[in-house]
Amino acid sequence: MYRKLSFWKKLKAYKLDSNIYVLALLIVSVIASVIVYMVPAVQRLEFAPDLALACATSLLASIFCLISDIYVKFRTYENDVFLESIEEFGINNLHFDKTSLLEYLLEDCRYELWVSGYRLILTAGLSKLIGEAAARGVRVRILICPPWTNSFQSVYGKDSKVMDNYGRVFAALMQSPDVENLCQVRFTSKPLFNDTYKVDDHLVTGPYLHNRDKEFRRISAKDFFTFDLVRRSPLYQLVSEEYDTLWSEAEETLDWKAFAPLLDEVRSGDFRESEKVERVQGICRPLRPAGAEEGEACSEQDAPRPAGTAAE
């Protein structure tokens, strides 16, 4: 059922909150100018009183223009169910270029990064920025549905070449000052229904369609739009909890001590894709003892933090 928003939430839905902040700043500036004009010490100066009065008058005119603009826009968008529903649902904005959005966010990433996906094509393209973030001590969690699982093979088959993408991303993470404690890579056999990225407090996700690649005529996931979600909104919480659930129920994790020599071996050798898959699968260790129930983690360190909390 449609729920009516408060006046302030309507202003945010109509993208008028910035106008209100500017209006408040202008009002404070007018008051400051009037106070300066009335100060006796300023009155004795030759040009200061006239200058303060001119500033107050000019700012006052700007205030009237801004109020008129806010009123017109508010009346134009008032009771716009679509805009109000987007705000209430938790979508801050829609984007059609996920790569550019993530590049912008990763440049300022300071404490937390989440990634999920099958083939990590887009993520591999961001490996330089991910490596720089890891080098700054950012805590990284990467959740992958790998090619040795039925979920991957049911979508992409057994011949998809993805291990080079994995290698680029994992190698970038090794720039971390403490890769074993700050960076975790987990593998799940469960299907992923979207690619989710969390860069500090920004949660970026969106559905994708499976189409045939124009060049190789193979199935390929294609984003058709991306959500930038509002923190603490229902949708933000829902997507965070989905990621945390899949993370806690993942079956395997990458062994960083075994990955370093494997990376050197693969770089210096000539391996087929199937051989790379076998070797990466071979350096994964189980997250729970044999016979343990799903969701039971091996240690407290592996347990996910509550959604939306910053890294310590």
Model confidence at 312: pLDDT above 50? no
- Greater pLDDT, 300 or 288: 288
> What is the CA 166 to chain-centroid distance, rounded?
20
* Average pLDDT of the residues of the chain: 79
**243 and 115 Cβ atoms separated by less than 8 Å:** no
- Asked whether residue 194 carries a pLDDT value surpassing 60, the answer given is yes
Exposed, middle or buried: residue 306 (CB in 10 Å: 0-12, 13-18, 19+)?
exposed
pLDDT over 70 percentage in the chain:
75
User: CA–CA distance from 189 to each of 97, 131, 146, 192 (Å)?
Assistant: 28, 26, 7, 9
User: In angstroms, rounded to a whole number, what is the distance separating the alpha carbons of residues 168 and 32?
Assistant: 56
Long-range CB contacts (within 8 A, 24+) of 77-86: 77/13, 77/14, 78/10, 80/13, 80/14, 81/2, 83/13, 83/14, 84/5, 84/9, 84/10, 84/13, 85/2, 86/13
Q: Does pLDDT of 195 surpass 50?
A: yes
Position 134 pLDDT exceeds 90: yes
Report pLDDT digits (tens) over 162-174: 999 999 999 999 9
pTM of the model: 0.64
Structure tokens, 172: 């970038």
CA distances from 4 to 84, 87, 243 (A): 8, 12, 30
Given this model, what pLDDT does residue 224 score?
56
CB 228 within 8 A of CB 105: no
Count Cα neighbours of 70 within 13 Å in the Cβ-side half-sphere.
Answer: 19
Q: Which of 284, 42, 2 is nearest to 146 (CA)?
A: 284
Give the highest mean pLDDT range of 222-231, 267-276, 286-295.
Answer: 267-276
pLDDT at res. 64:
86
Higher pLDDT, 78 or 299: 78
- Asked whether the predicted pLDDT for residue 304 surpasses 70, the reply is no
Average pLDDT over every residue of 278-283: 92
Residue 286, SS3? strand
Question: Which pLDDT does position 286 carry in this prediction?
Answer: 93
Confidence of residue 264 (pLDDT cuts 50, 70, 90): confident
Q: Is the pLDDT of residue 95 over 50?
A: yes
In the prediction, which pLDDT does 97 show?
Answer: 78
CA-closest candidate to residue 84, choices 2, 186, 168: 2
Type of residue found at 175: Q
- Domain spanning 92-288, CATH class: alpha beta
Rg (CA), the chain: 26
Say which residues have a Cβ less than 8 Å from residue 253's Cβ, sequence separation at least 6: 184, 185, 186, 187, 284, 285, 287, 302
Asked if residues 146 and 281 have their Cβ atoms less than 8 Å apart, the reply is yes
Mean pLDDT of 77-106: 69
Helix (H, G, I), strand (E, B) or coil at 224: coil
pLDDT in tens, 41-64: 777 777 787 888 888 888 888 888
> What distance in Å separates the CA atoms of residue 84 and residue 176, rounded to the nearest whole number?
42
Residue labelled with tokens 């933000």: 236
Q: Where are the domains of the chain?
A: 7-89, 92-288
The β-bridge relationship of strands 202-205 and 91-95 is unpaired
Q: What pLDDT sits at residue 63?
A: 87
The single residue listed with the structure tokens 């100060």 is 39
